[in-house]
């Protein structure tokens, strides 16, 4: 039999039911060619172990660590960067001219003044997600970054989870044509939040966790206009956690639709599933966790399973900082810019507002979160005096 003709992505002209080679795509995190600035981390909570694990593996230079609780900063110093200076006052840290990039990983209510101070000090900033509690505040921070000639990016690390990164690159390369629908379901156990500050967030599933999925859907559909968002939340039978652990959203696009379903009270048989259909093909991803996913690409030529490398933790954190550093080096806007991320927050805010009053919402019309949706204050301000090594 004659050898099948291959196209640019390695897909043969085979029967669609026949296994073929999946497209080879550049989905892995990127590093700048030569730019290696001094980086500072402000806020040294639990998630920052993933930040620093990724930075150390990528050989990024972290020279300062800051947290209002000295012990937290000391712990990160001992674990990852023994030579880094330790601070409890971010303003003292920002006085250092040798620091060019700041990773701000505090909670949202305390983050805005720190981002403002960093931008005014002409530092490039990577903000933890969710970016802001008010879209107008977010726009103001974007303008402030532009005024001071620095980049402001958001740590939407899900974009560089191997399966999501592969899917968004496949969409960008036109492999499945124009996206017509995206259905994402997440069934997992999120009860670890009981007894933590996160339990005080009523719309925890949408706001703190689901923001990743709103962001991913926004990436899948790109600049397509969103007509309306419908959402609801509910409590499971017998749940003890304060926030509703069930949440679902329907997003109507021009010529398409997305659905997000979250079940955060699954004890057994956990599963994460993604289904993206387009005018020329479909991509699916399924697995028992965010780190274990099998991706399948279907087109008229056949179907294939790319052998993906890496894992959301820590690759997602490598991807967000690597994209910011590469964008600085190339003098362009990063993929995860704050301006881009505001589109994701528009979806999230609209969903929370819809779940609050039961009415469909137009993204962008809901500028702030409903009162009580998230705590007004979550941790002490980082304002103590600096501590030397």
Q: 206-238: b or e for each residue (b if 16 or more CB lie within 10 Å)?
A: bbbbbbbbbbbbbbbbeeeebebbbbebeeeee
pLDDT above 70: residue 205: yes
Tell me what pLDDT residue 97 has: 98
Residue 342, in any domain of the structure: yes
What digits encode the pLDDT tens for the residues 175-190?
999 999 999 999 999 9
How sure is the predictor about 383, in pLDDT bands with cuts at 50, 70 and 90? very low
Q: What is the CATH number of the domain that holds 208?
A: 3.30.360.10
% of the chain with per-residue pLDDT over 90: 87
Residue 297, in any domain of the structure: yes
pLDDT above 50: residue 379: no
Residue 149, in any domain of the structure: no
Residue 104, in any domain of the structure: no
| pTM assigned to the model | 0.92
Q: Using CA atoms, how far apart are residues 11 and 336, in angstroms rounded to an integer?
A: 30
Q: 267-284: b or e for each residue (b if 16 or more CB lie within 10 Å)?
A: eeeeebebebbbeebbbb
Q: Which of 95, 117, 118, 115 is nearest to 107 (CA)?
A: 115
> Which domain range does residue 345 map to?
163-308+338-357
Residue 177, in any domain of the structure: yes
Q: Are 273 and 185 in contact (CB under 8 A)?
A: yes
Phi, psi of 161, deg, nearest 5: -60, 135
Tell me what pLDDT residue 18 has: 86
Q: For tokens 């859907």, name the residue.
A: 217
User: What is the total count of domains within the chain?
Assistant: 1
Residue 76, in any domain of the structure: no
pLDDT above 80: residue 1: no
Burial category of 33 from C-beta neighbours within 10 Å (exposed 0-12, middle 13-18, buried 19 and up): exposed
What does the block give as tokens for 168? 């968004």
Residue 55, in any domain of the structure: no
Residue 57, in any domain of the structure: no
């Amino acid at each position: 039999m004659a050898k099948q003709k291959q196209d640019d992505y390695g897909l043969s002209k085979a029967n669609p039911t026949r296994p073929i080679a999946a497209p080879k795509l550049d989905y892995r995190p990127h590093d700048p060619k030569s730019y290696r600035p001094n980086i500072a981390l402000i806020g040294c909570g639990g998630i920052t172990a993933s930040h620093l694990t990724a930075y150390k593996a990528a050989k990024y230079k972290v020279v300062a660590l800051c947290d209002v609780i000295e012990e937290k900063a000391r712990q990160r110093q001992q674990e990852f960067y023994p030579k880094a200076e330790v601070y409890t006052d971010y303003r003292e840290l920002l006085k250092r001219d040798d620091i060019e990039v700041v990773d701000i990983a505090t909670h949202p209510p305390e983050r805005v003044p720190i981002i403002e101070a960093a931008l005014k000090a002409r530092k490039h900033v990577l903000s933890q997600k969710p970016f802001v509690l008010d879209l107008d505040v977010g726009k103001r921070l974007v303008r402030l970054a532009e005024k001071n000639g620095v980049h402001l990016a958001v740590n939407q690390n899900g974009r560089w989870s191997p399966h999501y990164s592969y899917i968004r690159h496949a969409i960008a390369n036109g492999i499945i044509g124009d996206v017509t629908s995206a259905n994402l379901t997440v069934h997992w156990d999120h009860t670890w939040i009981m007894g933590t500050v996160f339990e005080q967030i009523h719309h925890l599933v949408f706001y703190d966790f689901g923001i990743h999925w709103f962001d991913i859907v926004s990436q899948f559909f790109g600049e397509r206009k969103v007509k309306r968002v419908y959402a609801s939340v509910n409590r499971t039978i017998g749940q003890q956690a304060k926030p509703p652990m069930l949440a679902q959203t329907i997003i109507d696009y021009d010529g398409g639709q997305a659905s997000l379903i979250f079940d955060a009270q699954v004890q057994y048989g956990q599963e994460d599933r993604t289904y993206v259909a387009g005018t020329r093909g479909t991509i699916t991803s399924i697995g028992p966790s965010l780190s274990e996913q099998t991706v399948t690409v279907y087109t008229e030529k056949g179907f294939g399973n790319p052998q993906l490398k890496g894992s959301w933790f820590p690759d997602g954190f490598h991807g967000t900082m690597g994209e910011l550093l590469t964008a600085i080096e190339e003098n362009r806007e990063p993929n995860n810019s704050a301006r881009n991320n505001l589109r994701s927050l528009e979806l999230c805010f609209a969903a929370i507002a819809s779940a609050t009053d039961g009415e469909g919402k137009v993204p962008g019309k809901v500028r702030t979160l409903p009162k009580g949706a998230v705590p007004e204050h979550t941790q002490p301000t980082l304002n103590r005096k600096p501590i030397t090594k």
